[in-house]
Structure 1
Amino acid sequence: MFFSPLPLALGLAGLALAGCSATSVPWRNPSVSPEQTRHDYYACRRQAERDSGWREESASGPFRDYDRQQAKAIADSSLKACMVGLGYQPIDRAAADRPKPAAP
């Protein structure tokens, strides 16, 4: 019996893409749609990872811990520069999660 991994791979890819589209990004630009924001964020993130050599899912690779931390810092900086360059502002997640004070 021959087993083809293609249907499984396609299913997993579909799930991964569905997860990406539902995830909110930590940036905002009131003049841009949420879909465009996600597109810009993931494009900037891919470019930052490519430039730095860092990838979140690469738990084991050629980098040692220190090198991985340095690559992550470079990737984060590159991502921020890209998003700010496109007119986005970072969202303060901690402030957004705090309860609002009650009106007097």
Structure 2
Amino acid sequence: MIRRGPVAAALALLCLAGCVSASVPWRHPTLPREQWGHDYSSCRRQAERDSGWREDDNSSPSAFREYDRQRAKRQADGSLALCMTDLGYVPASRGESDRR
């Protein structure tokens, strides 16, 4: 019997990586573009884990008050930026990220 769970998870991860790499708002002068999405996803996961904030979190307002949610988002954004900067990335301008 073939185990479909790991195969499906791998395919979903590849699809997600393709989507993320197309819209990475950071650039690196020496790393290949294919690496950007991987690094961005890794930094984003770490920032979300550290801050408790998730983009797709639809929890009820009583579970995570809006103020706390916005504060956690700011913390996650800052952690993400710090992680990417530590890896040598610089923010891409809006037009620049669309061109590449």
Q: TM-score, normalised by structure 2?
A: 0.75
- Number of residue pairs matched by the alignment: 92
Q: CA deviation at 1:19?
A: 3.5
Unaligned runs of 5+ in 2: none
Q: Which has the higher helix share?
A: 2
Rg larger in 1 or in 2? 1
Distance in structure 2 (CA, Å) of the matches to 1:91 and 1:40: 15
Asked if 1:28 corresponds to 2:51, the answer is no
Aligned residue for 1:73, secondary structure, equals: helix
Unaligned runs of 5+ in 1: 1-5, 98-104
Asked if 1:74 corresponds to 2:75, the answer is yes
| Superposition RMSD in Å | 2.5
1:14 to 11, 19, 25: 11
Structure 1 stretches (4+) deviating beyond 6 angstroms? none
Residues 31-66 of structure 1 deviation map (CA, whole Å, 9 limit, x = unaligned):
001121111111100000000000111021531111
Asked if structure 1 preserves the Cα contact closer than 8 Å seen for 2:17 and 2:38, the reply is no
Query: In 2 relative to 1, CA 43–31 (structure 1 residues): closer, same or farther, beyond 3 Å?
Result: same
Distance in structure 2 (CA, Å) of the matches to 1:63 and 1:17: 31
* Between 67-76 and 27-36, the greater mean CA deviation after superposition: 27-36
